[in-house]
Amino acid sequence: MSLLRDWVANTSMALVLVLVVLAVALRGDRWAGLLAAATAAAAFDFLLTAPFYDFAIHGARDVETAALLLLVGGAVTELAQWARRELARAAQQEGYVDGLVRAARMAADGVGTDEAAEVVATMIAEVLDLDGCRYTTQPADPQRPRLHPDGTVSWRGYPADVYLHGLPTMDLVELPAPHTGGMFLLSAATRVRKPSAEQLRIAVSLAAQVSAGSPLQPR
């Protein structure tokens, strides 16, 4: 671009540099985008403003353009990261829906309870990013944390703030399977998990898809 500075205004070249920053931000993370924005502003100063090959800027408009290049580059980076998060969230939601459809299909096809519960347990573990999840027909333990149908969690009669403190890690969390009389035991002992309200409701919906399609084997 420095070879064209006699024919093209440096402000036009600054727009090209913004495109470069956008390309880096889309392919990399936030730090890569911010580094690209800073590099673009420095390159504009060094190569495209007089005196050339010097980081000094004598023109007020050039100072303004360099500053705007840095600010716009930072804003473009944040927009790119927001777009990536939204795409990831959309893909995640699509996965949740696919899981619910699969569980509902198993219920409609009359898949045996044990087999369906094993598949659903794997889905719940993936949705909540758990250490493990298993189905049991053992009686409920009032001392254990419990995930309720509305997506809230309680422990010994008191509500647990999952969004602030995460799922309880000191004990297994019970998630009832309302159509079988059994429940899923959720394990999150190795690190703190803070699932969203949507993820908790998806887990509850998955548990509700298991029906008593075949005799249960005590576990």
| 34 has a pLDDT exceeding 50 | yes
Comparing CA positions, the residue from 178, 177, 216, 89 lying closest to residue 186 is 177
When pLDDT is cut at 50, 70 and 90, the band that residue 110 belongs to is: low
Q: In the predicted model, is pLDDT for residue 216 greater than 50?
A: no
Reported as a pLDDT band with limits 50, 70 and 90, residue 132 is: very high
pLDDT at 215: 41
> 133, 151, 141: which is closest to 204 by C-alpha?
151
pLDDT digits (tens, 9 = 90+) for 58-78: 778 888 888 888 898 889 889
156-186 confidence digits (pLDDT tens): 889 988 988 889 888 899 999 988 889 999 9
Ordered strands of the 153-155 beta sheet: 132-136, 182-187, 173-177, 145-147, 153-155, 158-160
**Full-prediction pTM beyond 0.85?**
no
